[in-house]
Copies of this chain bind each other. A is one copy, B any other.
Amino acid sequence: MAAREYGQYCGVTRALELVGERWALLIVRDLLVGPRRYGELAAGLPRIPSNILAARLKELQEAGIIRRGPRSRIVVYELTDYGRELEPVVLALGTWGFKAMGDPRDEQIVTPDSMTMALRTAFRADVAARLPATDYGARFGGAELRIHVAGGLLEVTRDAALAASVDLSFAAGPGIRRLISGELAPDRAIDTGVIEVLGGRRELLDRFASTFHLAA
Chain B residues with Cβ below 8 Å from A97 are 10-16, 18
CB neighbors of B among A39-82 (8 A): 45-47, 63, 82
Chain B residues with Cβ below 8 Å from A8 are 108-111, 114
* Docked-complex contact A100 and B13, CB < 8 angstroms: no
Min Cβ gap A103→B in Å is 9
* Docked-complex contact A89 and B85, CB < 8 angstroms: no
Asked whether A12 and B46 contact (CB < 8 A) given A7-B107, A22-B20, A109-B7, the answer is no
Asked whether A100 and B15 contact (CB < 8 A) given A8-B114, A108-B9, the answer is yes
CA distance A105 to B17 in the complex (A): 15
Query: Which of under 10, 10 to 19, 20 to 34, or 35 or more describes the interface residues of A?
Result: 35 or more
CB neighbors of B among A92-110 (8 A): 92-101, 104-105, 107-110
Within 8 Å by CB of A7, from B7, B47, B63, B117, lies B47
* Docked-complex contact B93 and A11, CB < 8 angstroms: yes
Asked if A198 is at the interface of the complex by the 8 Å CB criterion, the answer is: no
CA distance A157 to B96 in the complex (A): 27
Within 8 Å by CB of A12, from B11, B20, B63, B114, lies B114
Asked if A90 is at the interface of the complex by the 8 Å CB criterion, the answer is: yes
A and B contact pairs by CB, cutoff 8 A, 9 listed: A7-B47, A8-B111, A9-B114, A10-B110, A10-B115, A11-B93, A12-B29, A16-B26, A85-B96
Knowing that A8-B111, A11-B95, A13-B26 touch, tell me 16 more A-B residue pairs with CB under 8 angstroms.
A7-B109, A8-B108, A10-B101, A11-B94, A11-B96, A11-B97, A11-B98, A12-B93, A12-B114, A14-B101, A15-B94, A16-B97, A20-B22, A85-B99, A86-B96, A88-B92
